[in-house]
Structure 1
Amino acid sequence: MNFKVKNLGLLNQAEIEIGDLTILCGENNSGKTYAVYAFYGFWRLFNENITELILRHKDSFIQKEKNIFAIEEAKFIQIHANLKNEMNKLYKNKLAKVLGGNADIYKDAKFELSFEILNYEKIFKQKNFFFNVYKKDENIIFEFFDRDDLSSQNIHLFLVYLIIRRLFYRHQINIISVERTGIAMFYSELNISRNNILAGLTQNNQGNIIDNINNYIQKVSRYPLPITDNMSLINDISIVTNQKSFIVESKNNEILDLLWQIVGGKYIINDYGLQFATDTKQKILQKHKTINIQQTSSSVKSLFLLDLYIRFQAQKGDILIIDEPELNLHPKNQILLARLLVMLVNIGIKVFISTHSDYILREFSSCICLKNVSDENLKNLKEYNKQMQLDANKVRAYQTIKIRDEITTESVKITQEDGIFMDTFNDIIREQNRNQDKIYEQILKSQS
């Protein structure tokens, strides 16, 4: 799976292949966040775009009997072949919704995602609880099972929706935006605001309520979709925390213990809002200090959405995007966080980050090199475990560069022996060392 962008904010062009771990580095104002958000938006709006495609193609499916529909095989193959292009075209018109701002800003922008579509022949081998699929004469036949909860008016559209959905392997996608610190801090205020909005809407007469909802949506649409999604997640936190991630269900204590080590306590949602108990792992005891999230450190606020994802949301096959995972973290915790992200990759979660952190990048390299250590010798490295060994083939790394006043991306060399070769940090470190040497030289001259 890879995506290409052109004229997306400050990013003139880029092509990025998504690995199990994807890293995007570069200077400030080089378009990294635009690229990350655009990729997120495609999967986030998947259902919305699929619905539009259904409306385009529904008339190609002809009802033969009560529960049997047919389509010419040639038409079905053509629909299947064009799906990626159609999805990309539909999504281009949604970039303003994803990135925020006026649509005119993105009139020259291009986004194209190449992704996996179910092989045409495999459609006949897929197990499905709703319909059987088989070939007959020159048609594809869909024999729909009886469903009491579907009326005759919507059964047609529902079937077409299922058919087109079955053609895709869809990733569940989650994002932790760089604005997460403020979103966590204003948890209570967000809930108050939501309740006030709902109260205001319900006080209107029935004839105006739809207009009021539309007006409200237009007001908040200036914010990028990842930010509004993070805000919605906070608003739905009582529902989210009633679930369990597959990490918790499988009792992966190595990941949970490392998460606790980074966070340094336990987040609590109660009648007082969002609180944090320092040094708490499970039960809150009298010795543990509990404080409101507004009074916590910036690192505690920054880590809240990651903690929420790992404990309550994570499922195998997810894509987790984090914009600047190092935000507000001490270098020690940046290193631990890099190990945690590697562990997530190794249990089946794709991770995509944009970062400025040399600590995180170097630790990824260490985890790649760690793969060369035998199980026996790994025991001598107390800081690491087998879940932190990273296969270089799973990693894709990119840095933004400026060529003749245009910003683009280039892939970065990665080897199993030496890890990741990222010049964007190494050049700065070497320059800093040279400057330090020059300063010491002038100190010595000044003292002579």
Structure 2
Amino acid sequence: MQIRIRNFGPIKSFDLDLSKKFTVIFGKNNIGKSYSTSVTYLILKNLMKFGYEKLDANLTEFGESFRESFYATYEDIGNLTNRFSQKGMKLVLCTDALELTIESDGKKLLFHNVATAGNKLTGSPDISHIHYLPASRSGLYQALSAFSQIFAELSRSRGFLKKKVDIPSIPEPVSDYFLGLSAIRKRETEDDNEILRLVREMEKNILKGEVHFNEETKQMVYTPCHTDLSLDMSLTSSMVSELSPVVSYLKYIVASADGTSIIFIEEPEAHLHPETQVRLMEIFAELVRANVRIVMTSHSSYMFNKMNNLILDKKIDPETTGTVVFKHTDEGSVGTYVSTDELGADDENFLDVAEKLFNEKLELVEKLDTGERAE
């Protein structure tokens, strides 16, 4: 399955190959990485609601459901035209059996150009569950947690309110993320569960403590190793608070799920020391081998280089791994798959910066040396 994105916000073009089990998207800030992952999430989420095999018979229902998700996420779709070329947005869902084009006339979404090659969607990804972990996970979680408590108080005090309370809209991927954490329930899992083993490894070797869910307060709490403390996320380090939602999703949701899960995660390296970033990439590689699909965005050269080392070490399969680099053009950003083989992925994102810094260092050393000789 492939999702083609054209003239969507800052993006000129990007084709996301969902046959890959591990997709890593690199690029500069404000270039469209989040646009690409959020709209892909919405398409997949609504596809899964009706079942891949039944989509050709449920296109009307899919269209209504996708429109609702889309409008909840992007309030003014008129602003989603290519901001550089002013061309209209186009999203194309392609499988071996169906091609569906979604466009905008500036006011509403239009669905057309449906071509069916059979009565069953072949080539669809084997995915049963989908999750989205946005950037600034900790801040969003704490803010929305506080907001939900305020809203509960307002609801109880409804009789005393004299004016309507307007609640700001929240993009659907973000609200899904928060609702997923809020709905956590402890479930029985097998002792030999590979995902739980990786969670325990993250807690022991990275977080140096355990993340668990307080059934009474419905909040995540952190217990440092060798203590009986239960710390709210606001009282933990930035590293702990950013990784705790990842751990919680894996521990309480993904580990007990039947079938394959796909996780979209933005900037997992945020607030992490380079050593921790490297270890996290190792964990991601093991999760993929444990049948968890991952689509992640990143700015980290450490994670990029570790990914290449894991490919060389045969712990990441280059055949099922997609490495994407977004680059600016005059008509918007273009996301391109770079060559990825048994030697790793071509360094088209970080090499220029590293080379520039190295040359700058040589120039400064030469300048310093020349100045010392002049004295």
What TM-score do the two structures reach when normalised by structure 1?
A: 0.66
Out of 414, 419, 423, the position equivalent to 2:344 is 419
Determine the C-alpha separation between the residues in 2 that align with 1:337 and 1:84.
40
Q: CA deviation at 1:254?
A: 4.6
| Mapped contact 1:95–1:106 kept (Cα < 8 A) | no
Q: 1:396 to 1:86 in 2, by over 3 A?
A: farther
What TM-score do the two structures reach when normalised by structure 2?
A: 0.78
Query: Paired residue for 2:251?
Result: 311
Unpaired runs of at least 5, structure 2: 82-87, 99-118
Find out whether 1:394 has 2:320 as its counterpart: yes
| Mapped contact 1:190–1:235 kept (Cα < 8 A) | no
Determine the C-alpha separation between the residues in 2 that align with 1:317 and 1:2.
18
Q: Greater shift after overlay, 179-188 or 352-361?
A: 179-188
Aligned partner of residue 326 in structure 1, secondary structure = coil
Map 1:31-430 onto structure 2 (within 5 A).
31-46=32-47, 50=50, 82=56, 93-94=67-68, 96-97=70-71, 99-106=73-80, 108-115=88-95, 171-186=128-143, 188-196=145-153, 198-199=155-156, 219-221=167-169, 223-236=170-183, 240-244=184-188, 250=193, 254-260=197-203, 261-270=205-214, 271=216, 273-279=219-225, 287-314=227-254, 315=257, 316-371=259-314, 389-416=315-342, 418-430=343-355
Deviation per CA, 1:3-47: give whole Å up to 9, x if none.
111121111111121210001111111100000000111122336
Determine the C-alpha separation between the residues in 2 that align with 1:292 and 1:323.
23
Determine the C-alpha separation between the residues in 2 that align with 1:398 and 1:166.
25
Deviation per CA, 1:43-83: give whole Å up to 9, x if none.
223366x49x9xxxxxxxxxxxxxxxxxxxxxxxxx97945
| Mapped contact 1:21–1:394 kept (Cα < 8 A) | yes
Unpaired runs of at least 5, structure 1: 54-78, 119-162, 205-211, 281-286, 372-388
Determine the C-alpha separation between the residues in 2 that align with 1:37 and 1:81.
21
Q: 1:177 to 1:268 in 2, by over 3 A?
A: same
The AA in structure 2 aligned to 1:242 is: K
For these two proteins, the number of residue pairs brought into alignment is 336
Determine the C-alpha separation between the residues in 2 that align with 1:173 and 1:252.
16
- Alpha-carbon RMSD across the aligned residues, in angstroms, is 3.5
| Mapped contact 1:41–1:98 kept (Cα < 8 A) | no
Aligned partner of residue 309 in structure 2, secondary structure = helix
Q: 1:186 to 1:93 in 2, by over 3 A?
A: closer
Aligned partner of residue 173 in structure 1, secondary structure = strand
Determine the C-alpha separation between the residues in 1 that align with 2:249 and 2:77.
31
Deviation per CA, 1:276-324: give whole Å up to 9, x if none.
11125xxxxxx45443221111111111111111111113411111011
Determine the C-alpha separation between the residues in 1 that align with 2:148 and 2:59.
40
Determine the C-alpha separation between the residues in 2 that align with 1:296 and 1:278.
10
Determine the C-alpha separation between the residues in 1 that align with 2:92 and 2:147.
35
| Mapped contact 1:3–1:114 kept (Cα < 8 A) | yes
Q: CA deviation at 1:106?
A: 3.2
Determine the C-alpha separation between the residues in 1 that align with 2:329 and 2:348.
15
Query: Paired residue for 2:24?
Result: 23
The AA in structure 1 aligned to 2:16 is: I
Determine the C-alpha separation between the residues in 2 that align with 1:87 and 1:10.
29
